[in-house]
Amino acid sequence: MSLGKLVRGRLERAIAPLVDALASLGVTPNQLTLYGLALTGLAMISYNLGSLGLLLAGILLAVGGFLDVLDGVMARRHGMSTPAGAFIDSFADRLSDTMIALGFLFSGLVSPLVVMLMLSSSMLVSYARARGEGLQVRVAGVGVGERGVRLLIIIAATFTAYFQPIALSISALTITIVSAITVVERTWHILKSLSSSQSLGT
């Protein structure tokens, strides 16, 4: 079992009681997704509020990210997974990535070029998965820069930027590099899987 799967398994077991309690109150995965998206929107605005705004943005992103974890666990644990829910979750993630990039831009601490590189490379990671799985290739878990990893980097850098503003630029460049590596990894995985399938078919 990979380290990522081991960590996710332990995390899901740890938050299971909270997930069960929320489900018993009638909370749905889609609601958690939208709450998380709203918090990310507030974080985007907070980046423009100076040093204290960075701390607030970090807190909002951390809580929003936690809600994003909860929605997936709830959907799987309570049999609430639906195609519509999967679409909403994926679309909300892309909106969140865009709002975070705009937040970096609004902060005035990251150049527009670096923000564009961070966002475009992150989107390519997501596109590679969506296109690969559309071709019946399982891509989840492939690559070093899944969204959870990128979000952790962003949250840590946002808090650090309160003391060292350059941390935001460093994190944006780091995400760009990690995302580019992930795109290569996923592209190779998809092409290899498709080639294998074609060989088996012939």
Catalytic site positions: 93
CA distance 126 to 134: 12
Contact (CB, 8 A) for 110 and 169: yes
- Given the structure tokens 């979000």, which residue do they identify? 151
With a CB cutoff of 8 Å and minimum separation 6, the contacts of 189 are 132, 137, 139, 142
Q: What Å distances lie between residue 145 and 9, 18, 74, 83, 87, CA to CA?
A: 19, 28, 24, 25, 21
3 burial level (CB within 10 Å; 0-12, 13-18, 19+):
exposed
What Rg value do the Cα atoms of the chain yield, rounded? 18
For residue 55, give the H/E element and its range. Answer: helix 50-77
Q: Which of 122, 35, 98 is nearest to 71 (CA)?
A: 35
Asked if 14 and 70 touch (Cβ cutoff 8 Å), the reply is: no
